[in-house]
Amino acid sequence: MKYIDEYRDGKLARQIAAAIAAEVHPDRSYHLMEFCGGHTHAIFRYGIPDLLPDNVRMVHGPGCPVCVLPVGRIDNAIQLARDQGVTLCTYGDMLRVPGSDRFSLLKAKAQGADIRMVYSSADALQIAQDNPRRTVVFFAIGFETTTPPTAVALKQAQALDLNNFHVFCNHVLTPSAISNILESPQVRELGTVPLDGFIGPAHVSTVIGSRPYEYFAEEYQRPVVIAGFEPLDVLQAIRMLVRQLNEGRAEVENEFSRAVTRDGNLKAQRVVAECFELRRIFEWRGLGMVPYSGLQIKQEFARWDAERYFDIPQLKVSDNKACECGAILRGVKKPQDCKLFGTVCTPENPMGSCMVSSEGACAAYYSYGRYKESA
Ligand code: SF4
């Protein structure tokens, strides 16, 4: 398969791994964060840590959209479906994420709430069109990749003059979160790890391009290499980061040039800019309140904004005390540092968000047997 098989070539993987081993300086360490959950998944699926020298450590970042949504927003969605009687549409993984007291959308559905799993915002819009007597809310989550389709749904709702469709917007922004990992007082208080460089997201960068990371690399003096999701992409990105660090450079490089350009997808950016604007502050699981890290629906689309249409309280709910998702999303701890990992908490019975989505670090560790490795 073009663009798949050639990026999974085992012989080539061993050659790149040997090149990395030859280039690393034995007297220094390289802490590299992969921001994106898709990379975390690939790293474990293909056993990449086993190919790296001991002083090259991969640190898992907060780039799983299901994992970073705070408990309060999940409770808000549950309340919308259960107490306001709406038809709530969302992506499959969201159904299982535990809210307060381990209650989830799936449990609310079992108790009779009208909650439906959809594959896209277009599905939710269709449900609204097919059920004019129901009020339909699309529980929108995700980074820059899923935001354009939500914007398109808003524009279609406007064009159709659809009265029974609303969007509960929880879209968040990648560059603000990466900056926050390095500089926020909250993260400093809660503890962090040394980070020498970043593997930049793949899908997100197809939309926003590589340009937004240039300020970040310059300001924080950390190299960023944007990489695809195949194992050779990731290995090559690690090699490029090691080389930059050895040469004392902090630049944005693009390993994923077959899909990412410097300017990204301008059409998608335009439709997002038409429908959304920056929120002053938004809460992330694991990172706390992050300034200018989320989007809200613009005044022109207020009629379709669930937060303006319904009374949605700002809930401040702490994570389950035993769950270490917060520390894992900041890269401070690994899944096996959590006492519940693999015993009480498994993909079939997730206690926290990092075990729900396949992009979550706990689910990736568990699914690919990394729980056997020592901490
Ligand atoms: S193993 Fe489960 S409880 Fe522990 S951090 Fe991961 S998701 Fe949370």
Q: What is the pLDDT of residues 108-154, one digit of tens each?
A: 999 999 999 999 999 999 999 999 999 999 999 999 999 999 999 99
Percent of the chain with pLDDT over 70: 95
Chain centre distance of CA 220: 21
Q: Could you write out the DSSP letters of every residue in 197-223?
A: EEEEPSHHHHHH-STHHHHHHHHHT--
Can you name the residues that pair with 42 across neighbouring β-strands?
none
Query: Which amino acid belongs to residue 21?
Result: A
- Closest-CA residue to 38 (of 12, 11, 65, 15): 65
Strand partners for 282: 290
Residue to probe by mutation, ligand 1, list 102, 104, 355, most atoms within 8 Å of CB: 355
């890269």: which residue's tokens?
Answer: 331
- Which residues of the chain are modeled with pLDDT < 50? 374-375
Q: Is 355 in the pocket of ligand 1 (CB under 6 A)?
A: yes
Say how many CA atoms lie within 13 Å of 354 toward its Cβ: 33
Q: Is 361 in the pocket of ligand 1 (CB under 6 A)?
A: no
CA-CA distance, 48 to 316, in Å (whole number)? Answer: 38
98 within ligand 1 shell (Cβ under 6 A):
no
How far from 100 is each of 79, 107, 135, 350, 351, CA to CA, in Å? 11, 12, 25, 13, 11
pLDDT at 375: 40
pLDDT of residue 321: 85
CA diameter of the chain: 68
Q: Quote the pLDDT of residue 187.
A: 54
Residue 286: CB within 6 Å of ligand 1?
no
Residue among 75, 52, 42 at smallest CA distance from 314:
75
Residue 190's pLDDT is: 56
Span 49-84, pLDDT tens digits? 999 999 999 998 888 888 899 999 999 999 999 999
Q: With a 6 A CB cut-off, is 187 part of the ligand 1 pocket?
A: no
Among the listed residues 261, 257, 292, 255, the one whose alpha carbon sits nearest the alpha carbon of residue 277? 292
Say how many Å lie between the CA of residue 142 and the centre of ligand 1: 21
Q: How far is CA 284 from the centre of its chain?
A: 10
